[in-house]
Structure 1
């Protein structure tokens, strides 16, 4: 008997649709977190994945497509993908925004042939304190990520093992 896992889309929306959802996703984050807006103004580059679909039945995976913004302009397109094995069942959709706070972190990412979180660079997941301010230790990191689903910002997640690769769109 063969059990198949949930399949993930191979290609996302058109370039125009992706650009629109990237800007909408970033705007939504800024509306939800003024602290994220402040960080966004300081970021050297912002990588936005509006929709990452994760699913699995024993074997799982996730996939999404997004765009890298520099000075609020789309400069490149990327996909993100990862796989997992273990007890799992179901599906989830989330958004992910990665801010590169230093030129060095951004250039390392852009010059890679396939950048893997936790191997090629460490990503700090934004943690919020009193009054929705971002924790001081997070703000000092060179790469900061925000993850959200339809219920709002999510905490205590890891992106280690997630590979991000430049694509043509």
Structure 2
């Protein structure tokens, strides 16, 4: 009887946790779709990249802060050839002159299957050699992929002063 009670309790807890994680993934997906609409509102030319890239990931809500040492984190949604295929987490660590906090969205386009596969196999990290383009009208016109990757960011608010070095690390989980 005791084992049955423990099993039922475990089933209840795991069902509740699974329901919570499904709600969280649904929220991240909704936020990613809203972030995509905001990117396109700012620069409608991005539609060409959304249609022509092999895949992309949208991090709708990245929080960043620092005072000397800084960090950022956010969850995202991954699409391949227009189909939702998984989820991602981004973490960032920076060192240098920095103070404040900000929120932003980030979209990363993958030019080809090789670049996409590097990302989904958790073999992609961004350092100083990859720079993000702050989105503004027509920012995507003439933008070039670097090693099969193209990154755009859009500020959501906050104030951050920064002259620092760091990098972003990603982890991917299939749907």
TM surpasses 0.5:
yes
Runs of 5+ in structure 1 lacking a partner? Answer: 1-10, 152-156
In proportion to residue count, which structure has more strand?
2
1:94 counterpart (95, 101, 104): 104
Is residue 125 from structure 1 mapped to residue 141 from structure 2 by the alignment?
Answer: no
- Residue in 1 that maps onto 2:62: 52
TM-score by length of 1: 0.73
Runs of 5+ in structure 2 lacking a partner? Answer: 1-20, 158-162
Kept in 1: contact 2:135–2:153 (CA 8 A): no
Distance 1:34 1:19, change over 3 A: same
- Residue in 1 that maps onto 2:171: 165
Aligned residues: 148
Distance 1:158 1:109, change over 3 A: farther
Distance 1:98 1:158, change over 3 A: farther
Q: Could you tell me how far 1:133 is from its partner in structure 2? A: 5.8
**Any idea what the Cα deviations from partners look like across 1:71-95, whole Å, max 9, x if unmatched?**
3332111111111233322111010
In proportion to residue count, which structure has more helix?
2
RMSD: 3.1
Partners of 1:159 and 1:96 lie apart in 2 by 18
**Any idea what the Cα deviations from partners look like across 1:28-81, whole Å, max 9, x if unmatched?**
111221211111110111110001101122321111111111233321111111
* Higher Rg of the two aligned structures: 2
1:84 counterpart (83, 89, 94): 94
